[in-house]
Amino acid sequence: MDFFSSTYNALRGPQGAPQSATDAIGKLSDRLSQSTLLSDRRASVLSLKGLVRDWKTEVGDVALPGLIEVLLNDCEVDADIGKACLETITALCEIGGEGDLHGGVGVPASVVTRANARDSGWRHMDYFLANETATHKLLFLLSDEAFYTRFCSLQLLALLLQHRRTVVQKYFISSPNGIGTSGILAILNDKKEILRNEGLVTLQALTNQNVEIQKILAFGGAFDSLLNIITAEGGVEGGVVVQDALQCLDMLLRLNVSNQTYFRETHLPSLPPLLIFPSTLTLTSDYATPQEFALQFWNEQKSINVGLIVGILGLFSRGAKEGDNIGSAVQRCLIELALASNCPTAVKVKALQGLPTTASAQLATLVITPYAPVPESNGDEWDRLDHTSALSAVVDLALEGEYGGIGQVPDSRPKVALELRAAAAATFENFVRREDIRDAVLRGMSPTDPDTRPPRASVQILSSLTTPPPQPITLTASLKILFSSFLFSSLLRTEPSSSAKSLARRILPFADRPSLSAEGEEKMSRSFFVPADSPTVPPSHGAGAGGDAGDGLGEGAGADRGDDDGDDQTLLQILIEHLSLSFLYRSKSWEGTSMPSPSLGSSEAQDERDWDRLISGYLILLIQWMWDDSASVKEFLDNGGLATLTEPINQPTGVDPIVKGLCTGLLGVCYEYCRLPGQVTRTSIYQIIQRLGSDSLRSSLLPLRDDTRFRDISPESIVLDAPKTSFATPFSGLSTSTNVKEGEGKEGEGDVWFDWSFCEFWKMNFYAVQRALSRDPDTISHPPGPESSEMNALVESLRDIIEKQNAEIGGLNERLGDVQKRHAEEIDTLQTRISTLSSSLSSSTEKQKEMEKEQEDLLVFLEEISGKRKRDKRRLRELGEDVSEDEEEEGEEEEE
């Protein structure tokens, strides 16, 4: 009753006279500061809370100082006034523009602008944050015993962080006695879910982009609180609460090195068990992972939670040092999760991306136990396969896809599946960065010892490269050859590349190889990721496929090929044949078409695109192989490679700009590094370039660089979104929308054309290739020998340094000239002064001599006078005159 009577009296005014809302707000505001009774202040706050919705600006402008005073003095004492005060301040600071619906007389509320309400929300928020006292009190109330006081304080803090995060973070750091840290941790440790869940959201905003707050909370016990929440909610099987807790954990660790060090030493061993992975299982352990880790039931929320944990583990995997058991366990967990589990594909991608380059060296020795889904079981049944090395699993994953293509829809290309294969290719590239490992893989492709079994990874890559292009073409086959080109290119790309390319030239894929035992053959047939419909090896590469390819070879291409046995073909010769054969098959689609036609069905357009992708894979590999390797260029040209390139370059229409640009680029590379005597010389290549037109060739390189399939590649992902139409234009790589049948570009599908390493390589050497096409055959830009693009970059950088130093020397010379000129002027001035002083000194000397002579004359005269005086004194004495005694004594002294 006190509340109703107090409210009524406050609103009624004196003697029941009618009053406006402004008058009522003013009276209620006065009572906030003048009333001595807590109940009166509570009634005023509740009344103001009711007026906020319609009179937000007026309430805030008049009553906000009083509300802040109530917050500082009364909220801790009375829970009801605290709840009402915090809710009122929160409503005043909201930016939603829900207030100020009054529009005055005759103005409908629906047409009243909410701009004033939004402006007043910003103004009220800035007034509240004008000093740190109110914010510190708000942080203190987070530890209050009353539920609604804590909850409303948390809501107001979240609102302030949303719009004025930097100011609130500054006040949080300056809070006395750590009240902010204790308040946040008290919220996280609270048993009430609504408080805890709201606290997780607030914690993310509070720690965003502030390293100091991250450190304060981490060392204050936030890691323990977050891990307790994750455990209490069921670990990775939990819901959104676990996701929020993991996001907070990731935010505390992602960009904070000191927090990572602290977490590694204290809490890191508790993360792998969340995935049912033992923390004691390292890269060197000789026992397998438990089956309950490899085979789990998955749903969307669990995938998100595990993905967050994998992202955190990746932070510590990259920073693991040699001999670090927990770091080794983290790396083993990521490898097993990516290669030997049934986790979702997106999680496997994160796991592979989280592996460091140092961990890749363990792939060859680490043995894993993979699993494969039973066909038509919908993922409910899984077969345990034979043990295999992690390296073989990585290569299989890149070449064949997840589970070797089991369960995959034919000719489908889910984007996440392509990202997984791209991540596997990047992992293999990290593995072969070391020269000894790279050379070992290359030697395994052409073993010299018949008793030595080659590494399975070498056999897999070589088998994929030497498999002839299939007819008809399939998306699966084109992607396999493309990724095999990526893998083999990584063997040739790593510096120094001269030894690797020398080993690659000696590879004889179909020479006599060591035969496998029955047990070995059985293991090879049952090994992981071997597709059931894998194309068989052609019976003869000298005839058969090679014969068809030989029809397109140019002069000198087959001068002595007829005497060669197919088993003596090098890998480079086989690749040339496959490239020629691919152009032959693809030309059937080019014949009679100037550009893609709407009459083509979706399957025909897809076939053309698959052929272009397959040809691009061969060209990407050959460009990087020929670069800076004159011996390989000679072999390429002597085996008809030049004629293979000129046909698509010379074709005016119907050729994908990617293919035409790569052919032109390979032609430029061959012309640049054709420095050894052979059947094809630089002069003959130059004549062909002139016949094709050097300007036209340089122009054909531009669409490749500007094509979206090349331009959109990034270090983070080489997988692009699938085209939205059934074909792409041959001019820009962009999809056309005129009379096109929709068929591709389904949601979630992707496309792959290049890897990032090649894009980086091509961007670095693009202008060098362009200049080579216009260079005279007698002019060699670089001397023959092993020289890398890095050396060219070093030379350019040194030239820049020399130019800068020359500019500095020029500036110093100018300064030196100015100084010398100034010194010459000073010398002239000093010489003039010296001359003046010399003349002055001469005149002074002459005057001194004259004065000395005059003084001598005076002395002589004085002596004469003195003698005369003496004579006069004697005469006076003789005459009896009195002479002064002084004068006599003086005379005597003078005589003496």
Give pLDDT tens digits for 256-268. Answer: 899 999 999 999 9
The larger pLDDT score, comparing residue 96 to residue 651, is at 651
User: How many other CB atoms are found less than 10 A from the CB of residue 339?
Assistant: 28
At 119 the pLDDT is 75
Residue 198: what pLDDT? 92
- Say which residue, 400 or 34, is predicted with more confidence: 400
What was the pLDDT predicted at 654?
A: 79
pLDDT attached to residue 44 = 82
Three-class SS of 237-298:
HCCHHHHHHHHHHHHHHCCCHHHHHHHHHHCHHHCHHHHCCCCCCCCCCCCCCCHHHHCCCC
Higher pLDDT, 119 or 327: 327
**pLDDT for residue 572 is more than 60:** yes
Query: What sections of 377-510 are H helices per DSSP?
Result: 390-400, 415-431, 435-444, 456-466, 475-493, 498-505
Q: How confident is the model at residue 495 (pLDDT cuts 50, 70, 90)?
A: low
∠ CA 307-308-313, rounded to 5°: 95
pLDDT of residue 228: 94
Parse the chain into domains and list their residue ranges. 1-102+111-128, 788-826, 853-896
Whether 489 and 620 have beta carbons less than 8 Å apart is answered as yes
383 phi, psi to nearest 5 deg: -100, 135
pLDDT of 109 above 50: no
Distances (CA, A) of 268 to 265, 290, 304, 325, 890: 7, 20, 20, 11, 119
Percent of the chain with pLDDT over 90: 32
pLDDT level of residue 540 (50, 70, 90 thresholds): very low
Statement: residue 610 has pLDDT above 60? yes
pLDDT tens for each residue of 508-533: 887 655 443 333 433 333 333 333 33
Average pLDDT over the chain, rounded to an integer: 80
pLDDT at residue number 602: 58
* pLDDT for 419: 94
CA distances from 529 to 401, 482, 570 (A): 8, 17, 27
Residue 595: per-residue pLDDT: 43
pLDDT number for residue 710: 93
Report the pLDDT averaged over residues 61-82. 86
Q: Which residues contact 886 (CB under 8 A, 6 or more apart)?
A: none
Q: Categorize the per-residue pLDDT at 633 as very low, low, confident or very high, splitting at 50, 70 and 90.
A: very high
Residue 422 pLDDT > 90:
yes
The more confident residue out of 551 and 163 is 163
Identify the sign of the CA torsion 751, 757, 758, 760: positive
- Selected residue with higher pLDDT from 523 and 150: 150
For residue 558, the model assigns a pLDDT of 35
pLDDT at 438: 87
Is residue 735's pLDDT more than 80? no
**Rounded to an integer, what distance in angstroms lies between the CA atom of residue 295 and that of residue 310?**
17
Q: Is 562 exposed, middle or buried (0-12, 13-18, 19+ CB in 10 A)?
A: exposed
* Residue 2 neighbours by CB under 8 Å, 6+ apart: 39, 43
Averaged pLDDT for residues 79-107 = 71
Instruction: State how far the Cα of 393 lies from the Cα of 520, in Å rounded to an integer.
Output: 17
- Give residue 421's pLDDT: 93
Least confident window among 18-22, 170-174, 490-494? 18-22
- Phi first, then psi: give them for residue 749, nearest 5 degrees: -95, 155
Helices in 749-788 by DSSP H: which ranges?
756-772
Average pLDDT (449-462) is 78
- For residue 461, pLDDT over 70 is answered with yes
